[in-house]
Structure 1
Amino acid sequence: MIHKLEMFIAVAREGHFGRAAESLGITQPTLSTGIKQLEEMLGVQLIFRGHRYGGLTPEGQRALIWARQLVGDARAFRQEMRTARHGLTGHVRLAVIPTALTWAAALSARFSQVHPNLEFTILSRTSAEILTMLENLEIDAGISYLDNEPLGRVTTVPIYAERYTLVCRSDHALADRDRLAWADLAGCRLCLLTPDMQNRRIINQNFMEAGVEPEARVESNSTVVLVAHVLQGDWVTILPADMARFLSAGTDLRIVALQEQRAAPSVGLVAPYREPHTLVTRGPW
């Protein structure tokens, strides 16, 4: 039953029978047979289909909610039983907002010290993608913003508050300042994360409250690309303090604190809501 529910979730996630089968490592006929058997067991049609996937039926949409919960609980149950016998082992899948990647490395290293048999996959994703991946059971947890945009029904564990700095070359006009107001950045040639990133939306809010229209001459979904541009020319970028220190280490770049004009965004662990809590959310974060 659980295996067939996983097939159903994969089809709903991929919107395509071939891609769903590939993601599960099975053939498409095996997948189609499993879905048909699940429909027979439940007594309802779950998927509209002719020559191709046609979406979920109303019954399928309701079933998907239960399928995700049942499969998630089954995975957590298996992990709890393995842990009771062998200690915490297995593979933890994390999706992390780009500005929190240094924190993800520090936290996974700390977790590995306590549980050396764990393996980690850490992916860089937007906050919206993290919530979708959690919903589709593609990851075990995420590290994302906790209080700026709706999260839905999840378990959260705060880790740090994101405080912003300007990163510029040592010969830039603002490099020798101890602290800057957001209004001081008017007219600067900015490199910023792309608008689909929640970090960019937060930065835009800070500029708006300072009465400044930011001039983003370069946009990227990579903080490395932003800092590389700062090194190459008269650009500047805005990064959280920890990420700024990491990417500027060993360079001639300057980091200047920005005055806080609104509450610092809270960043932390986000995981599917489950009682009892899973070992991931109980870990040494």
Structure 2
Amino acid sequence: MDIKQLRFLVALEETGHFGQAAARCHVTQPTLSMRLRNLEEELGLELVRRGQRFEGFTEEGRRILAWARGLLAAQDGLYAEAAACRGQLVGTLRLGVVPLAGFDPMRLLRLFAAAHPELRFRLFALSSEQILERLASNQLDLGLSYLERLDREHFDSLALADTRMGLLYDHRHFSIDPANLSWEAVAAQPLGLLSSGMHFRQSIDHALRSRGLNPQPRLETDAVHQLLQAVRAGLCCAVLPLHSGLDRLAEGLTLSPIDAAQTLAPLGLILRRAAPRSALAEACFNAARTLLAEDSIEPIDQHIDHSD
């Protein structure tokens, strides 16, 4: 067994396709398949369900995957820790971000990249539940998510801000008075919203229903870029977080604050407490605190424990 076989196995899980996994690992598909069969023979287990194409993992395969991810994270962490001991930070930071986060993650990554130019980043758009699951299984280094019902025993967190909400519209298509923009005024507009079940959508629904409002959205989607496309096309307006940077992505867009509008829980940076905890993740926490201090924004709530 060697570490490449484990990387092949994890790549297959992440892509769900033999050819894509091989391309990610820079090998041919026959080579990847052969090395995975060698791993199965060595372990005496069937790990992968095969048909005409990849059909998933066996129950035993999923148990082995958990160990493989841990070993790969330990290897990456070892190299990152060695670099940190030399005064360097290298490697790839894996960050999970909820859709429509009320804190622009690029502000943090730009600061981090400026201080450590050799770093690379992988971003994943995930639900808050998926972020916690992947942090717990060491598939992510950090999560940018809501802190509601966070298990403080297993996760550290740095609260970034309450997420205030505004109405995004294209002034070429809509004439809206931004002064004293109420939820009643918002409900009167054709709305584009994230799909039901997402935390940000739940906060919008709660605000509307608590005021006896029940507008029928013109468009629902789980993709933020489609929401922005619909706004630019004049199909609808959208409720988005303030300070997310999304209103600056195209000309003609205006994001006006809604009175008494914020999400049900603050947004924060989340780090798993259990080892291995990478030097990259720890450094990103420090970068976040620096960014907050420079912006003169006090963290709402800190739950950081350095006793481990």
Maintained 8 Å contact 1:191/1:229: yes
Q: CA deviation at 1:137?
A: 6.7
**Using the alignment, how far apart are the partners of 2:25 and 2:260 within structure 1?**
49
Closer, same or farther in 2 for the Cα pair 1:223/1:102, shift >3 Å? farther
Closer, same or farther in 2 for the Cα pair 1:86/1:37, shift >3 Å? farther
**Any stretches of 5+ residues in structure 2 without a counterpart?**
289-308
- 1:120-269 correspondence runs (5 A): 120-122=121-123, 124-127=125-128, 130=131, 140-147=141-148, 156-168=157-169, 175-180=177-182, 182-195=183-196, 197-221=198-222, 223=224, 226=227, 230=231, 233=234, 235-243=236-244, 246-247=247-248, 251=252, 253=254, 255-260=256-261, 264-269=264-269
Match of 1:74 in 2: 75
Give the TM-score of the pair, scaled to structure 1: 0.77
**Using the alignment, how far apart are the partners of 1:14 and 1:245 within structure 2?**
28
Closer, same or farther in 2 for the Cα pair 1:255/1:148, shift >3 Å? farther
The count of residues paired between Structure 1 and Structure 2 equals 283
Q: CA deviation at 1:155?
A: 5.2
Which residue identity does 2:26 align to in structure 1? G
**Using the alignment, how far apart are the partners of 1:69 and 1:76 within structure 2?**
10
Give the TM-score of the pair, scaled to structure 2: 0.72
Maintained 8 Å contact 2:102/2:163: no
Structure 2 residue matching 1:74: 3-state secondary structure = helix
Which residue identity does 2:269 align to in structure 1? L
**Using the alignment, how far apart are the partners of 1:223 and 1:140 within structure 2?**
23
Match of 1:96 in 2: 97
Match of 2:117 in 1: 116
Closer, same or farther in 2 for the Cα pair 1:120/1:16, shift >3 Å? closer
Match of 1:61 in 2: 62
Which residue identity does 1:144 align to in structure 2? S
Could you tell which deviates more after superposition, 124-133 or 251-260? Answer: 124-133
Match of 1:17 in 2: 18
The one-character-per-residue Cα deviations of 1:80-101 (angstroms, maximum 9, x if unpaired) are 1123235112333434334238
Match of 1:37 in 2: 38
Q: CA deviation at 1:150?
A: 9.1
Structure 2 residue matching 1:216: 3-state secondary structure = coil
Which residue identity does 1:177 align to in structure 2? A
Structure 1 residue matching 2:30: 3-state secondary structure = helix
Which residue identity does 2:75 align to in structure 1? A
Match of 2:280 in 1: 280
The one-character-per-residue Cα deviations of 1:132-184 (angstroms, maximum 9, x if unpaired) are 7667876543423332799996654432221112345679676153252x345
Structure 1 residue matching 2:86: 3-state secondary structure = helix
Closer, same or farther in 2 for the Cα pair 1:111/1:254, shift >3 Å? closer
Maintained 8 Å contact 2:104/2:245: no
Maintained 8 Å contact 1:14/1:20: yes
The one-character-per-residue Cα deviations of 1:195-237 (angstroms, maximum 9, x if unpaired) are 4643223322332333322321134555566456556658432
Structure 1 residue matching 2:282: 3-state secondary structure = coil
